[in-house]
Amino acid sequence: MAKKKLKSDGIYFTGMSSEDVTGSQYYIKYGNSKILIECGLHQSASNDYLDSYKINNQKYKFKPSELDYVFIGHCHIDHTGNIGRLVKQGFRGRIITTSETAKIMKPLLLNSSMIVQNEAKILSLKYKRNYSPLYTDEDIYNAFELIDTYDGYNTIYTLNDNVSFRWFKNSHCIGAVQLQLILKDEYGRTKKILYTSDIGALHTNNHYVPDTEIPQCYSDVTIMESTYGNEKRKNNKTRSFDINHLCTAIDTVADRKGTIIMPCFSFSRTQEILTTLYDMYGHEENFDIPIYVDSQLSCEISKLYNHILTGENLEKWQKVCNWRNVKFIEDKEISKSIIANKSTKIVLSSSGFCTNGRIIGWLRKYIADEKSMVVFSGYVGDNPSYLSYRIKNYRDHKQIKINGEMINNKADCICLSTFSSHAGFDDLVKYGSSLNTNKVVLVHGSRDAKSCLAKKMAEAVSKNDKTYKIVESHKDMIIRL
């Protein structure tokens, strides 16, 4: 995309989310306004640091110093993780999000800063040249100073003469919203853009979040995610199926005095699994298996929940945290001693993909143990470069190398499939065919997912007596405004 083209009014699909499920970033120029929707980190599917580094370090096609606002729909790193670099490169506008997202973004971005600095060190050593980190903690602290929070759904907030917006409910995770931007140009013309960010289920099984709503106000363009847009990957399991599966797994492992290891992302999944375990066993006097939350970041975010949740949600979360079986492990030395003790226990540790964090220590010790079991509750990656993928596909990976050591992969492994925070295929079709819009652009999905969803949505749109266009995004696409 030539730089001069960015001068026309339009939506520019500058991020990797126009091609894949990663790196959300959309640049919008309308009249005198220059806006970025999200600034996510690209995380390479092949888990290749150099590939990710090169993409995340690409020169921006706009000037960060000229941006007025960055809007953030939710706090996951593929939507926020490159803000530090944007600030490092001169962004001084305002970051607009909800107060819940702002609170959770802080530990997540500082953790991301630690990871990008570490990856730059690894690359420098490996390729014997200097890879400077994408950003450092200082850039993250500078970004925090730029955050303005707005709460309340369906309320129009006016930022200046040309830029207004409102949020809509989204069950994707705590703090997540859908965004409608209302932009005016110098001639008084208006354009409305709806952005789903990642959307959660229309009727969610997950705790602490509202159901996703389908906005009915008119938008000229809707930018919609399509992660589960491939009908072939449709999940027909119910949450009660997963709970029964987990209950049987815990009974089996407890009988043989093994350990259940649950790799979980520190935000959202850890707290959801913990709450599910509480619902399953919290009222059983005889349930005496300890449940360890072994990750500093998971502990930190779990504490933050006490400052974010309100009313019944807060009451529920406090019951979970005060349950005598639950132990939050912040200290690394205590973590080591629990790993060494082979008594029966359930462990929730991060990261979910097993790429880094304390989960590595747990897996090194326990995947050779036939009495133990690894329980995944999310996507494990689609190729052997992910440790989670190799553990799950144990028939093809009887031995696994972890930190240079070959270990027999003998522990059982199961996957729970209903804990995803993304809307499933049927919900995507329903959402995408019930809008009041002129055009829907599908993003944040594989090529197969987008084309399958576009086809099914088009059928449903005409059934609903609607006429809007559905477009599949590609890198550097431009939608003129």
The pattern of x and - marking residues 29 through 68 that bind Zn ion according to CB under 5 A reads ----------------------------------------
Q: Which is nearer to Zn ion, 253 or 297 (CB)?
A: 297
Identify which range of 47-55, 177-185, 194-202, 250-258 contacts Zn ion by CB under 5 A: 194-202
User: Residue 40 carries which side chain, given as an amino acid letter?
Assistant: G
Q: Which residues on adjacent β-strands are paired with residue 414?
A: 375
Interface with Zn ion includes 412 (CB under 5 A)? no
Residues 134-163 that bind Zn ion (CB under 5 A): none
- CB 79 to Zn ion: min, Å: 6
- CB 444 to Zn ion: min, Å: 6
Q: Which is nearer to Zn ion, 78 or 427 (CB)?
A: 78
Identify which range of 141-149, 192-200, 315-323, 457-465 contacts Zn ion by CB under 5 A: 192-200
- CB 197 to Zn ion: min, Å: 7
- CB 40 to Zn ion: min, Å: 7
Give the binding-site size for Zn ion (rule: CB under 5 A).
3
- CB 26 to Zn ion: min, Å: 13
Q: What are phi and psi of 374, to 5 degrees?
A: -100, 130
The pattern of x and - marking residues 332 through 371 that bind Zn ion according to CB under 5 A reads ----------------------------------------
Q: Which is nearer to Zn ion, 76 or 88 (CB)?
A: 76
- CB 376 to Zn ion: min, Å: 18
Interface with Zn ion includes 20 (CB under 5 A)? no
- CB 74 to Zn ion: min, Å: 6
Q: Which is nearer to Zn ion, 224 or 321 (CB)?
A: 224
Interface with Zn ion includes 272 (CB under 5 A)? no
The pattern of x and - marking residues 74 through 93 that bind Zn ion according to CB under 5 A reads --x-x---------------
- CB 480 to Zn ion: min, Å: 26
Interface with Zn ion includes 166 (CB under 5 A)? no
Q: Which is nearer to Zn ion, 158 or 235 (CB)?
A: 235
Encode the chain in three state secondary structure: CCHHHHHCCEEECCCHHHCCCCCCCEEEEECCEEEEECCCCCCCCCCCHHHHHHHHCCCCCCCHHHCCEEECCCCCHHHHCCHHHHHHCCCCCEEEECHHHHHHHHHHHHHHHHHHHHHHHHHHHHHCCCCCCCCCHHHHHHHHCCEEECCCCCCCEECCCCEEEEEEECCCCCCCEEEEEEEECCCCCEEEEEECCCCCCCCCCCCCCCCCCCCCCCECEEEEECCCCCHHHCCCCCHHHHHHHHHHHHHHHHHCCCEEEEECCCCCHHHHHHHHHHHHHCCCCCCCCCEEEECHHHHHHHHHHHHHCCHHHHHHHHHHHHCCCEEEECCHHHHHHHHHCCCCEEEEECCCCCCCCCHHHHHHHHCCCCCCEEEECCCCCCCCCCHHHHHHCCCCCCEEEECCEEEECCCEEEECCCCCCCCCHHHHHHHHCCCCECEEEEECCCHHHHHHHHHHHHHHHHHCCCCCEEEECCCCCEEEC
- CB 162 to Zn ion: min, Å: 28
Q: Which of 20, 100, 139, 198 binds Zn ion (CB under 5 A)?
A: 198
The pattern of x and - marking residues 202 through 241 that bind Zn ion according to CB under 5 A reads ----------------------------------------
- CB 92 to Zn ion: min, Å: 26
User: Rule CB under 5 A: which residues touch Zn ion?
Assistant: 76, 78, 198
